Amino acid sequence: MQSKLAAIFLSVLSLGLIVSATPASATTYTSSTGKTAVVLNEGRTGTGSFYFTEINGRSILGDITITSAQSNGNSYRYEGTFHEQTLGPRAGDACTGNITIVRQPVPRSANYSAQVTWRVTGGRPCASVGQTFSLNLTEPLPRPDRNGDYTARLADTWMTQTAGLATWPKWRVTSADGELNCRVQPNGPIKTVYRAGRDEISAELRGVNAITMSNGAPWMLTSQGCYVRANSQYIAPIALPR
């Protein structure tokens, strides 16, 4: 799914568009086909959220303005408006309307889902006025490769304004002994120790990509300026909407 997500956002970049930056509290939700992605600024109103989808060979980018954000336990309900444009040489429809996003945990999973409903009310030109579309999207947590490694390609998420994809920001310790050494450099001296159930590991995102390779193995640079082994034996991603 991460490669599909990358393809979606690289499509936007290839069309010469710059999407406004999203803060660390933004969450990406994607469809099972990988053809639709919604990037949502969690727990707030205003602009900055957006979506990208491919329909019948057309690429569509939509800006979202959230006007209402209401919490109900573990779920969140967002109401707002959207304004979209068809991109590239087949540019055409520019639909507008209302959007509802209901975010909630996926049962028996670490992921969150987002039920997204678009109600098309206008636009010029827009062939879909009066129609309603609904999709169930899921937060695509990074998945390791068959060796358990989180490479840069497998550990990325939403688009930033200048650099496209960035490393997943939040991780937890999964080491069998409950401790994870964070080293000055890969395989170097220990700088600090993260502990399961107590510490949350934050990736260093000032360089966007926090994953580096050393002797064929991926390591992640943390916000504390040290490296942890980027493998499922040691770390796992944390769902962003909390």
| Residue 94 pLDDT | 85
| Residue 15 pLDDT | 45
| Residue 127 pLDDT | 86
Cα 167 from chain centre: 10
Cβ of 142: how many Cβ atoms within 10 Å?
Answer: 22
List the one residue out of 47, 32, 201 whose CA is nearest residue 113: 32
Residue 174 phi/psi, 5-degree rounding, is -125, 5
Neighbour-count burial for 207-231, b at 16+ CB within 10 Å, e otherwise: ebbbbbeeeeebbbbbeeebbbbbb
| Residue 19 pLDDT | 45
Biggest alpha carbon–alpha carbon distance for the chain: 63
Per-residue pLDDT of the chain (242 residues; tens, 9 = 90+): 455 555 555 555 444 444 444 444 578 898 988 889 898 888 889 988 899 898 888 888 899 999 999 988 888 999 999 999 887 766 666 899 999 999 998 887 778 899 999 999 999 888 889 999 999 999 888 899 999 999 988 887 764 444 457 788 899 999 999 999 999 999 999 999 999 999 999 999 887 789 999 999 999 999 999 999 999 999 999 987 65
- Strand order in 179-183's β-sheet? 190-195, 179-183, 227-229, 217-221, 211-214
